Amino acid sequence: MNDSSILTALDQLKKEVNSNISIVAVSKTKPESAVLEAYNVGHLDFGENKVQEVVRKNESLPKDIRWHFIGHLQRNKVKNIAPFVHLIHSVDSLKLLKEIDKRAASNSRQINCLLQISIAEEESKFGLSPELLHQLLDSEDYSNLQNIKVIGLMGMATNTKDEGTIRAEFSMLKNIFDATKKDHFLDSDSFNTLSMGMTSDFKLAIDEGSNMIRVGSLIFGERNKP
Ligand SMILES: *Cc1c(COP(=O)(O)O)cnc(C)c1O
């Protein structure tokens, strides 16, 4: 028995979702102590959206934590996370992918990436359109990258209470995922990750085919507004 609300929420969530769904515990804005609580019961996957914050947490926390970068990533900051990042969910351009490849090479490693697709109806700032996605994967520049591996897609639904809209957007992303696998990764088992769903919509996302959810406030509590 424990009386930690973090552990209770995490435990509850793990019971609620099938074990083949990866749970990224989004610890942005939360202290190292909150990450450690979950780590100490065996949770290893944590999500952050600010370079400075994930670098700081990586320095002081156990080295077997798998840091997922889920926020918008500027090219000039890739070098700071390249030595340790586990998966970058938010790759939205070939230029960024090339920079990640370069920094992965200089760290003698491979960095796994997801391509972020814009699916929300609201004019979304970040993410590739399906057209640009296919253009990127067909490009010669992409085929020359040796130190990155694209292992799937990520998307965020519109922030709305309308379940129909959310479901349709997740369903669309699942279709894009399946088509991308068929058109570009048929020989590769490694294109296998569909990151969609957060606290408010992870159940709908899983219904529509997600196998990686990024859950913050449900586990760690509400965040203070910036
Ligand atoms: C903050 C964030 C999440 C988690 O949001 P919650 O609503 O707290 O679960 C998921 N994905 C991204 C990209 C985020 O920035």
In this prediction, residues 41-61 reach a mean pLDDT of 98
Predicted local distance difference test score (pLDDT) of residue 120: 87
Q: How far is CA 123 from CA 72, 120, 127, 159, 166, in A?
A: 16, 7, 11, 12, 15
| The pLDDT of residue 123 is above 70 | no
In this prediction, residues 63-78 reach a mean pLDDT of 98
Amino acid at residue number 59: E
Tokens 């998307």 belong to residue: 155
| The pLDDT of residue 4 is above 70 | yes
Tokens 């294109």 belong to residue: 191
Q: Decide whether any atom of ligand 1 lies within 6 Å of the 17 Cβ.
A: no
Q: Which atom of ligand 1 is nearest to the CA of 26?
A: 4
pLDDT per residue as tens digits for the range 175-187: 999 999 999 999 8
Q: Decide whether any atom of ligand 1 lies within 6 Å of the 49 Cβ.
A: yes
Rounded percentage of the chain residues whose pLDDT exceeds 90:
92
Residue with CA at minimum distance from ligand 1 atom 11: 214
Out of 84-98, 115-129, 131-145, least confident range = 115-129
| The pLDDT of residue 7 is above 90 | yes
| The pLDDT of residue 172 is above 80 | yes
